[in-house]
Structure 1
């Protein structure tokens, strides 16, 4: 049984990426999955001056340790103007300053969703290119388009059958690869 840390790269109180993470976490029943909210780790905006004067923020160190303690990650990244949100980039900036290879040995399921038809593909592609620089091994990825049309917030279920089958296949493959 693998230990998995799951989170959305979003600071929105109503994050659709967090809804997707929660849905996926419930489906990975063969593994121990811990879902967190990055907003619970209060990390200031990165500044070289701040790092020099105050060192690494305690909550950034805590998140780094939480990542170190697991075998795999499930990350769903939101998209702002075709790329990562400033919030998620800031988190990655701090973590990579603490340890350039903070994702070494971590197997990752990378996802994105958005209200639009592209499903956050811009941020997903950015993450696929950048996270391996920090040691990540991206095993699977999935984009979930038109979130509000294809997912019911009320029932926490995927409405679109094709998307459901596609995600189930990705989850099955990911779960098998991290055993």
Structure 2
């Protein structure tokens, strides 16, 4: 199974990218491709810019990466209670190719943050809008207090409740 994973932060040390990779690696026999959305930075979306220059090739590359996957693992970073600007811009450009950005692929949605909220606000927003963008959401899960629940040396989640719920979601793939 080809699994594409990414975190929605363009931070070099993205905890959401670490969580997405961890979750994807829990899928048996997965061939995991880890995307870094920092590699997909584009001009800020506007219809005027689209009319002038067209859709950037990086948006097409991102759409193709989704197309090539059998399943998607996304971990959402939360900035001020919502999507990161880097992800929102990438998503806006990609949706101009096809509103069905996720192409009816099975998607596992995650989120984490350093604090107790675990980025649950953005995760709820992503779940709520998923049907409009053809995401077959198999489950959504938040990991609060990332640095207390993730062993960075071993790159593993240490919260057994989270791991159990993650495995239940993975079993639906």
TM-score of the aligned structures, taking structure 1 as reference length: 0.90
RMSD: 1.4
The correspondence of residues 16-31 of structure 1 with structure 2, limited to 5 A, is 16-31=15-30
Q: How big is each residue's C-alpha offset from its partner over 1:48-96, in whole Å with a ceiling of 9 and x where there is no partner?
A: 1110100010111111111112221100000111111111111111111
**Equivalent pair of 1:108/1:136 in contact (CA under 8 Å):** yes
Deviates more, 1:90-99 or 1:29-38: 29-38
The correspondence of residues 25-40 of structure 1 with structure 2, limited to 5 A, is 25-40=24-39
Cα distance, 1:150 vs structure 2: 0.9
Q: Distance in 2 between matches of 1:148 and 1:167?
A: 18
TM-score of the aligned structures, taking structure 2 as reference length: 0.93
Q: Aligned residue for 1:43?
A: 42
Q: Aligned residue for 1:158?
A: 157
Q: Does 1:78 align with 2:73?
A: no
Q: Distance in 2 between matches of 1:100 and 1:160?
A: 36
Structure 1: any 5+ residue segments left out of the alignment?
none
Q: Distance in 2 between matches of 1:131 and 1:166?
A: 20
**Equivalent pair of 2:4/2:72 in contact (CA under 8 Å):** yes
Cα distance, 1:157 vs structure 2: 2.0
Deviates more, 1:156-165 or 1:145-154: 156-165
The correspondence of residues 9-158 of structure 1 with structure 2, limited to 5 A, is 9-158=8-157
Q: Distance in 1 between matches of 2:161 and 2:101?
A: 35
Q: Distance in 2 between matches of 1:84 and 1:12?
A: 14
2:20 aligned counterpart, secondary structure: helix
Structure 2: any 5+ residue segments left out of the alignment?
none
Q: How big is each residue's C-alpha offset from its partner over 1:69-125, in whole Å with a ceiling of 9 and x where there is no partner?
A: 222110000011111111111111111111111223211000000111121100100
1:36 aligned counterpart, secondary structure: strand
Cα distance, 1:154 vs structure 2: 1.9
Pair 166,139 (structure 1): closer, same or farther in 2 beyond 3 Å: closer
